């Protein structure tokens, strides 16, 4: 069976989906809505972003709840999480914290790693650029992941929180890719703190919703999430918008989260969908307009 491909009209269909998308509705449900109150300045936005992205496991309600609990512990000032003079206080505050398999001692260690890093650098953009400028986006994520892992002893499971696309077998690195998207893009809904990474170089944060929709629209032929699938979906979107391909990520993701894509043929929901003509589920099926 040949690989599914979208129709030649797919760019127009995707732009129509983007243009009609209810951003205000989905922004309230997205983890970034919990980050914005913490982003007083670029430094705090970056700190909130890396902690928020690290916690981005599970559904959006649970993620926003975890970010909210973390915010309450530091009274809304995430800079306390990376203050090198608050090591014991940080460990005490986070001792009982848990979100899915992420524990408070791991977050406290992340705070210590970042505290040491910020002692000599203004932004994690510097770490990303070390790899990016030499060998591209995947290498930038690899350098960023290794920076966040730190050196020396760490709590059990800590380093696994920061996979690299260069590690076998090529993790999709959804959370770190999401963090970089938040930092680089200045358009809705992102934070736009970094200035030296071009938006055209970004890769899509490939969560289960974007992967399912991307596969059924023919943006990737890979049935499992991997870095190769990330590259395929990103390149397909880059052909539509070379300067800002990842602007479609939020729409594709929340089309799945909201139920606007039921992930099965349901004419009542799929009928008005702009990209239905490109969807594998509807291939060869005519629907009266």
pLDDT at residue number 288: 54
**pLDDT, mean over the chain:** 95
CA 279 distance to own-chain centroid: 24
Contact 167, 173 (CB under 8 A): no
CA 259 distance to own-chain centroid: 19
86 pLDDT higher than 90 = yes
287 pLDDT higher than 90 = no
Question: What pLDDT, in 10s, does the model give residues 160-217?
Answer: 999 999 998 889 999 999 999 999 999 889 999 999 999 999 999 999 999 999 999 9
What mean pLDDT do residues 239-258 have? 97
Give the pLDDT band (50/70/90) at residue 21: very high
**What end-to-end distance do the CA atoms of the chain give, in Å?**
29
pTM (two decimals): 0.96
> H-type helices in the chain, by residue range?
10-19, 23-29, 32-35, 42-54, 60-73, 87-94, 104-118, 125-135, 137-149, 174-184, 208-216, 227-238, 249-257, 267-270
Characterize 261-283 residue by residue with b for buried, 16 or more Cβ atoms within 10 angstroms of its Cβ, and e for exposed: beeeeeeeebeebbbbbbbeebe
What mean pLDDT do residues 248-265 have? 96
70 pLDDT higher than 70 = yes
Which of 29, 25, 26, 73 lies closest to 51 in space, CA to CA? 73
pLDDT at residue number 170: 87
141 pLDDT higher than 70 = yes
pLDDT at residue number 2: 64
1 pLDDT higher than 50 = no
Question: What pLDDT, in 10s, does the model give residues 90-137?
Answer: 999 999 999 999 999 999 999 999 999 999 999 999 999 999 999 999
């Amino acid at each position: 069976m040949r690989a599914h491909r979208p129709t030649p009209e797919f760019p127009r269909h995707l732009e129509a989906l983007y243009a009609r998308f209810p951003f205000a509705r989905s922004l309230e449900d997205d983890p970034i809505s919990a980050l914005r109150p913490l982003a007083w300045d670029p430094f705090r936005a970056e700190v909130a972003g890396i902690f928020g992205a690290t916690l981005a496991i599970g559904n959006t309600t649970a993620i926003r709840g975890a970010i909210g609990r973390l915010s309450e512990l530091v009274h809304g000032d995430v800079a306390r999480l990376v203050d090198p003079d608050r090591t014991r206080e940080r460990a005490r505050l986070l001792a009982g914290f848990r979100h899915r398999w992420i524990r408070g001692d791991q977050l406290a260690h992340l705070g210590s790693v970042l505290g040491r890093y910020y002692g000599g650098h203004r932004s994690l953009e510097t770490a990303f650029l070390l790899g990016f400028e030499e060998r591209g986006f995947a290498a930038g994520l690899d350098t960023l992941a290794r920076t966040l892992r730190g050196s020396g002893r760490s709590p059990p499971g800590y380093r696994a929180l920061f996979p690299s696309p260069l590690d076998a077998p090529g993790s999709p690195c959804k959370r770190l890719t999401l963090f970089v998207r938040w930092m680089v893009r200045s358009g809705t809904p992102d934070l736009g703190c970094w200035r030296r990474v071009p938006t055209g170089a970004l890769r899509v944060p490939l969560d289960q919703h974007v992967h399912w929709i991307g596969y059924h629209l023919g943006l990737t032929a890979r049935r499992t999430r991997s870095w190769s699938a990330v590259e395929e979906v990103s390149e397909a979107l880059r052909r539509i918008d070379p300067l800002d391909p990842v602007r479609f990520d939020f729409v594709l993701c929340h089309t799945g989260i909201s139920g606007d894509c039921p992930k099965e043929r349901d004419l009542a929901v799929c009928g008005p969908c702009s990209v239905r003509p490109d969807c594998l589920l509807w291939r060869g099926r005519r629907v009266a307009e």
